[in-house]
Structure 1
Amino acid sequence: MGYAVVIGEALVDLLDGQVDGEPVYRQMIGGAPLNVAVGAARLGSAVEFVGSLGDDVLAGRIRALLADAGVGQRGVVTVPAPTALAVATFAGAEPDFRFYGEPPSYGLLEADALDQELIRAASVLYCGSIALLRAPVLAAARRAWSLTTGRRVFDPNVRPRLLPDAAAMDRLRALVAEFAASADLVKLSAADAELLYPGEPLERVAQRLRTLGAAAVVITQGPTGALVSAGTGEAPVRVPAPVVNAVDATGAGDSVMGALIADLLLTGPPAPEDWPERVTYALRVAGLVCEAPGAAVAMPTREQVAARFPTPIRGRDQVSPPSSA
């Protein structure tokens, strides 16, 4: 089965809300890569998180959550910085994140700090999200990308607040092109696609990334579902999302990536015609995440997914992954 290495940020989200009519911020451990790592681990996969954490109490809570989820921390380094914060407010379909902490605790992973054997032996390597906007982490991700012999997956997780001008967005587009060129899977949201390639239909965005070199592209569309593009000459396929009682969509897209990584570890890369089946299962995972508050803490097990969505997907829900070594 092997294991996955997830490189990127872990931080603390402060989610804007109200209690008894008074404004409050609900503290949640987050960061898209951390959510991905926890999501894959909760589905039975062996996962190692690689990143830099601060030296305060909040960093201790992050470590505890990773440990509780069964995520390895061989690649985690401690840096002399307070844990970065992301304040999330909600005024539309997508939350608005503002980030605090300079330099951010998640942006201090150096390439020389990588456990190279850990990277080389991984069956799947995930890189992406806002940590790559920091030069040290980008250098580390590039080195890991070159070292791995496993499947490479990438998610840009665009945060416009961290892209102050057109030049910054151009640099991110170039970064997406760089990683997509040798990726086995690129996952992004419809909002990411619109920010990166304004006005382009999702089918064209998927084709652009495939032309760059990505073997498969999955674009999530919230309650609508997802667009999947894989296989030479195959037209993109739209996969519907299950109907759920959503209360909090935080981390839903990350759970899709976590589920797809877990499946890559469990059964390897699918045939092009089987990608929609895998995405259908991943959307079930995301739907269950939306039915509970939080992000990482809402990631379900396979048993919970099967209980909530009992109709099998060609028997996939009944698959039990082998125990991790």
Structure 2
Amino acid sequence: MPANDPTPAGLPTVGNTILTVVGESLVDIISDFHRPSAIQVHPGGSPLNVAVGAARLGLRTSLVTHYAEDRYGLLIEEHLQSNGVTVINGGTTPTSTALATLSADGAAVYDFSITWEINGASLPALAAVEASTHVHTGSIATVLPPGDQATLVLVEAAREHATISYDPNCRPAISPDAAAARQQAELFVAASDVVKASDEDLAWLYPERTPDETLAAWLALGPAIVALTRGASGPVILSRNGRVEMAAEPITVADTVGAGDSFMAGLISGLAQLEALGANGRQRLRTLTPDQLHALAAYANRAAAITCTRQGANPPLSAELGPLPTPSPAQER
């Protein structure tokens, strides 16, 4: 059930930002090419990883999610509580699982057994998003019935009071109809202020377009910022004020599990430090300078890089990442 303290001990809070993440929790069962006899079990799911990553970076974080009171659900609950994430649990069916098979280069291929429904927590979920500075969602929670429509309702209810972020984190094994997934993605893009996707997401959703063409098309739907992660090629951030591109940090990769989620958590934390979240921060979000966007990209890029040096979805603490670099007034002109 909910953790008593919404911020992990020893972590500073980022201003008055209150983050609510809406989305699936599951257990990653990891089989590693390099160690076939060593099966690992970790709490996971993209929204859960974003919630944990944001909490570790000092944001007061809640997660509207689904898991059961089974052994995997208890593992998830312990993980969330130990990281200071407040839980709003709306499900009763068995806890979802994802078998992640790591290839020789550390990339993960997934096989899912997933349920997504949050009807058991409709009222507390609505109260949480309406009291939030920022709401994040994405992944399976935005495409899998019956909970996908409840997720969209929560996002729409939050928009008057909060900024919104979205990461499609496409899973063709869960939602193999690319046309339907594309339609859902565009609904959430249009409802969002910040959107992040991977190059693999865009290649599957829009095989006939370049990633830059899709970023521009998504920006035209309404978000202030769209970001693209490209693995070893590094991220891109696009706004109406400019485009930032940078290389990935040189690291030794343990695996890539949770890297994109750490990038997303870094984006949210960085924007909180820039006071660019919430209804009062929306105008600032839309007027961030190229130098601020560069600092934001570097901060999120570093969060993802740290995660890649460790096994499993293990995002960095704020002490490891440090604060967002702040451009000088001369740089901002």
TM-score normalised over the length of structure 1: 0.86
1:185-240 Cα offsets, whole Å, 9 max, x none, are 010001101011114222111101011222210000112211111125x3x32122
SS in 2 for 1:53: coil
1:174, 1:125 → 2: CA distance? 21
Could you tell me how far apart the structure 2 residues matched to 1:111 and 1:215 are? 33
Structure 2 counterpart of 1:113, one-letter code: S
Which residue number in structure 2 is paired with residue 8 of structure 1? 23
1:243-262 aligned at under 5 Å gives the runs: 243-262=250-269
CA separation in 2, counterparts of 1:313 and 1:272? 13
Shift of 1:68: 0.5
> May I ask how many residue pairs the two structures share in their alignment?
298
Q: Are 1:142 and 2:147 matched, yes or no? A: no
1:163, CA displacement in angstroms? 2.9
* Unpaired stretches in structure 2, ≥5 consecutive residues: 1-15, 277-284, 329-333
Match of 1:313 in 2: 325
- Which residue matches 1:70? 84
In the TM superposition, residue 111 of structure 1 has moved relative to its aligned partner by 8.1
Q: CA deviation at 1:181?
A: 1.1
Please state how far the C-alpha of 1:78 moved relative to its aligned partner: 4.2
* Matching of residue 171 in structure 1 with residue 187 in structure 2: no
2:87 matches 1:98: no
CA distance in 1, matches of 2:246, 2:138: 24
- Kindly tell me: are residues 22 and 230 of structure 1, through their superposed partners in 2, closer, same or farther at Cα, counting changes over 3 Å? closer
Match of 1:323 in 2: none
After superposition, the CA RMSD in angstroms is 2.2
Correspondence for 1:156 among 168, 171, 175: 168
Establish whether residue 288 from structure 1 lines up as the match of residue 306 from structure 2.
yes
Q: Distance in 1 between matches of 2:36 and 2:132?
A: 47
| Aligned match of 2:58 | 44
Give yes or no for contact 1:184–1:216 (8 Å, CA) kept in 2.
yes
Which residue does 1:278 correspond to in 2? 296
Residue 220 of structure 1 is aligned with which of 223, 229, 251? 229
Name 2:118's counterpart in structure 1: 109
Q: CA deviation at 1:146?
A: 1.5
Residue of structure 2 equivalent to 1:198? 207
| Residue 34 in structure 1 maps to residue 48 in structure 2 | yes
Aligned to 1:181: 190
Distance 1:133 1:65 in 2: 25
| 4+ runs deviating over 4 angstroms | none
Whole-angstrom CA distance in 2 between matches of 1:76 and 1:267: 31
Alignment deviations for residues 166-186 of structure 1 (CA, whole Å, 9 cap, x no partner): xx2111111111111131101
1:241–1:280 Cα contact (<8 Å) kept: no
Q: Percent identity?
A: 29
